[in-house]
Structure 1
Amino acid sequence: MDIPVSLVTGAAKGIGLEVVRQLAQRGHYVLLAARNADRGQAAAQQLSASGHVQFLPLDVTSPSSIEQAQQKVRQEFGRLDMLINNAAILLDHYQKPSETSVQQLQETLQTNVMAVHAMIQAFTPLLKASAAPRIINVSSGAGQLSGMQGSVWAPAYQISKTAVNAVTRVWATELSESNIAVNSVCPGWCRTEMGGEGAPRSPEEGAAGIVWLATEAAHQLTSRFFRDREEIAW
């Protein structure tokens, strides 16, 4: 297959769904990954008119599910050009650190951080088979240490996004010799199930920066953190 093959996690709704739509419209063969089969299949069908979209069953917190997804991509395509780690949860909205339980923190880190590491680890061999592979980790300005003092509104989520940026840095260091670009991106506060109806940005606006990083940004850019096509502080 000559067209780029892209995998987007957490893609049955919100920003992930819009990323799939925009990539498909740009001619990518997009694997819409989601753990809810009914929702994932419906989303893929919804986007079928946009281009090549295929549902990929995937629970990013399950090692066996990740392995099965990796094997399926290997068998069908033999490579992966773009890995977009978008899946995330927010459990402690408007809580103080003292109100955030260890269980909430553990569950948040499992999905938002450890799953990102596991996905990169599993799909690196397929990314190495690509001519210009990219890994994009969807982070958040909420995880910026530079702006966190005085602005704590979801402690577990914010900690997890800071950690995602660290995952980006360490993997970018290892994979620089393999020509794999690894970056973080903040989509901004968007009107999604997670962001709420009062958010200032649409999913389309949030997805645009992710899609730019996956398609138009210079491939030599790596180990960076972006919002709206501009590098921002960690």
Structure 2
Amino acid sequence: MKLLILFVVNLTFFSFYHSVVFGDDFKRDYVNLAKLTPEEEKTVIKLAYECGLKEPVYRISTHNMYPSPFKGIRIEGHEKIDGRQVTTQILSVSKSDWLEPEAKPRKGQIRIGNFWAGKPYTQKKTILNVKGKKYRANSIQGLSPEECETILGSFLGAKFKLGPNVKAKEKLLKQIDWTKPSGFYKRGDSISVGFLHKSKDSGFFDLQIVKMDRDITIQEIFQAIP
């Protein structure tokens, strides 16, 4: 009986270890020409823990480093949620054959095979609730979360007006991912809201708006292209 219990405990531990370390339970988000093999995934997960990632790996993604031809890797730990605040450990990983030939680890970085990284950093976001759905904003300054929810709700519902300077750029609105707000900022009477592009790694948009009660007018739109 004791032998059976010991076997079950060991099997449970092995299953947990395999799931966390070797990536049976994480999400993948790879761009074309930057996909990791299962063996490479094991390597970068091991690297993440050696670099100090405290949470189990939740997602491994790759991205283009425009305008260069290089590519990078991003590893995310599981989120910690406290009310509206969400914190996530993020680790940026380099792969030698996805960078310039002379690229190499900096002092203090850890290398395993073709991969290297420094220390993970903590990313903080704020949860916004609009009509029963949750959205995450990277940064909020000068506004309350409730005010941001009202603004976001107007954009999600396409309930906004266009100022004279924006009508000529109206086609840009079709490229905005309204479900991915990057930030809300208020300085004096000036309010700006950022949203990501619908296409991955294609930059973001900054909207200068005027808010009168619940009416929102976009006065200017700027596009940041990598």
Indicate whether the TM-score tops 0.5: no
- Structure (1 or 2) with the larger CA radius of gyration: 2
Give TM class, smaller chain.
under 0.3
| Greater fraction helix | 1
Which structure: greater strand fraction?
2
Q: Which has the higher contact order (CA 8 A, sep 6+)?
A: 1
